[in-house]
């Protein structure tokens, strides 16, 4: 029972697919078993950190909303998307030098550079072992999304410490890093359900916009979130020299704010106080309201893509998911 409760607690959102999400967790646990215990441990360090399972949720609901009913298939592929996400998180935390994630030390911090790189590779490979068993459409949709993430990483790196970053450029990064894989999960789910081309496209559009909204809210929470809930200290993006949506909006409204933010961004290791003052300044401009307005716009766009999807308990869950993504506090 303890075991069961633990598994269930990793998916805080319930959209009538708890059974499937529990099966995803079972599969994740099975797949990361290795003779090399550190690989298993480091993998579970991320997998059991209590992520939202947003990607499996979207993939499974997308499949079910088009009438898909083979639980084994969709659990399998949803597991693949969560593995890719976990691999990306581990490698991403190395790149960002991140020390906490979901309230825990990152794999990089806890296990070191070498193990973090290899564990990420291991999870990628396990995902490939799953995805590769499906047909060419599934493989190409997934591989393209993964390549997109790599490109988004590179783009973000190029943009880091750049002073004239635009909101459009920011959107391009989050499109590639966050939205494309969620779009791919939605499309693959719809495709495997045997959906018509227009419905697959529609669910892809849903996933893309949901993914954008999700990341925009994430970047807002970096300013407004309770560290106990979000699992990371506030102002992390500023500290890492990342100009995200609230900051970019704040900068666009006032040259004074702009200059003061750029000064902090330019520092190699800004003090906690400098970060706090900078965050306060961003909040004072009303940039958060504007950022949330933009995120809600993406949410609306996601909902519009569901217009032609039959009204079922599952498509209603997809709708409800948009609200949850926008209103979350962690």
List contacts with its own copies (CB under 8 A). 34-36, 38-39, 87, 91, 94-95, 113-115, 117-122, 124-126, 128-129, 131-134, 136, 138-140, 142-144, 146-147, 149-151, 153-155, 157-158
Question: Quick one: 98 or 234, whose CB is closer to its own copies?
Answer: 98
Compute the least distance from the CB of residue 230 to its own copies, in Å.
24
Question: Quick one: 32 or 321, whose CB is closer to its own copies?
Answer: 32
To the nearest 10°, report the CA torsion of 112, 115, 120, 126: -160
- Which string of DSSP letters, residue by residue, matches 12-42? ---SS-HHHHHHHHHHHHHHT--SSHHHHHH
Question: Quick one: 92 or 218, whose CB is closer to its own copies?
Answer: 92
Whether 318 contacts 65, CB under 8 Å: yes
Question: Quick one: 91 or 199, whose CB is closer to its own copies?
Answer: 91
Question: Quick one: 139 or 303, whose CB is closer to its own copies?
Answer: 139
- The stretches of the chain forming alpha helices (DSSP H) are 2-9, 18-31, 37-47, 54-65, 71-96, 107-111, 113-131, 136-159, 167-174, 180-192, 197-224, 227-230, 236-239, 245-253, 255-266, 272-284, 287-304, 313-327
Cβ neighbour number for residue 320 with a 10 Å cutoff: 14
Q: How far apart are CA 120 and CA 83, in angstroms?
A: 9
Question: Quick one: 25 or 96, whose CB is closer to its own copies?
Answer: 96
**Angle at alpha carbon of residue 101, lines to 98 and 103, rounded to 5°:** 130
- Positive or negative CA dihedral for 72, 141, 128, 101? negative
Compute the least distance from the CB of residue 273 to its own copies, in Å.
28
Question: Quick one: 5 or 136, whose CB is closer to its own copies?
Answer: 136
**What are the residues whose beta carbons fall under 8 Å from the beta carbon of 246, sequence distance 6 or more?**
219, 220, 222, 223, 282, 287, 288, 291
Compute the least distance from the CB of residue 189 to its own copies, in Å.
17
Compute the least distance from the CB of residue 127 to its own copies, in Å.
8
Compute the least distance from the CB of residue 171 to its own copies, in Å.
15
Compute the least distance from the CB of residue 145 to its own copies, in Å.
9
Compute the least distance from the CB of residue 174 to its own copies, in Å.
16
Compute the least distance from the CB of residue 93 to its own copies, in Å.
11
Phi, psi of 104 (to 5 degrees): -120, 160
Whether 111 contacts 42, CB under 8 Å: yes
Compute the least distance from the CB of residue 91 to its own copies, in Å.
5
Question: Quick one: 35 or 269, whose CB is closer to its own copies?
Answer: 35
Q: How far apart are CA 149 and CA 174, in angstroms?
A: 9
Residue in the block written with tokens 């961003």: 282
Question: Quick one: 192 or 202, whose CB is closer to its own copies?
Answer: 192
Whether 283 contacts 223, CB under 8 Å: yes
């Amino acid at each position: 029972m303890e075991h069961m409760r633990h598994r269930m607690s990793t998916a805080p959102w319930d959209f009538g697919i708890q059974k499937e999400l529990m099966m995803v967790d079972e599969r994740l646990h099975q797949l990361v078993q290795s003779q090399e215990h550190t690989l298993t441990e480091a993998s579970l360090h991320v997998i059991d950190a209590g992520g939202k399972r947003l990607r499996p949720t979207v993939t499974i609901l997308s499949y079910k909303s088009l009438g898909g009913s083979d639980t084994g298939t969709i659990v399998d592929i949803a597991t693949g998307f969560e593995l890719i996400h976990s691999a990306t998180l581990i490698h991403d935390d190395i790149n960002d030098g991140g020390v906490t994630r979901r309230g825990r030390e990152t794999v990089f911090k806890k296990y070191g550079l070498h193990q973090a790189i290899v564990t990420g590779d291991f999870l990628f490979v396990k995902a490939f072992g799953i995805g590769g068993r499906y047909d060419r459409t599934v493989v190409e949709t997934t591989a393209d999304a993964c390549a997109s993430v790599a490109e988004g990483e590179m783009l973000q790196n190029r943009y880091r410490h750049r002073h004239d970053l635009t909101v459009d450029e920011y959107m391009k990064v989050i499109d590639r890093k966050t939205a494309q894989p969620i779009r791919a999960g939605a499309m693959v789910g719809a495709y495997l359900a045997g959906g018509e081309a227009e419905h697959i496209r529609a669910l892809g559009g849903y996933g893309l916009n949901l993914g954008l909204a999700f990341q925009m809210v994430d970047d807002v929470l970096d300013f407004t979130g309770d560290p106990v809930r979000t699992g990371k200290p506030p102002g992390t993006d500023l500290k890492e020299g990342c100009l995200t949506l609230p900051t970019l909006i704040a900068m666009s409204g006032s040259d004074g704010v702009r200059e003061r933010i750029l000064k902090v961004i330019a520092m190699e290791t800004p003090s906690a106080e400098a970060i706090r003052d900078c965050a306060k300044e961003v909040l004072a401009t009303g940039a958060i309201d504007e950022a949330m307005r933009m995120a809600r716009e993406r949410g609306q766009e996601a909902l519009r893509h569901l217009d032609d999807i039959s009204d079922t308990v599952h498509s209603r869950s997809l709708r409800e998911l948009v609200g949850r993504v926008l209103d979350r506090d962690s």
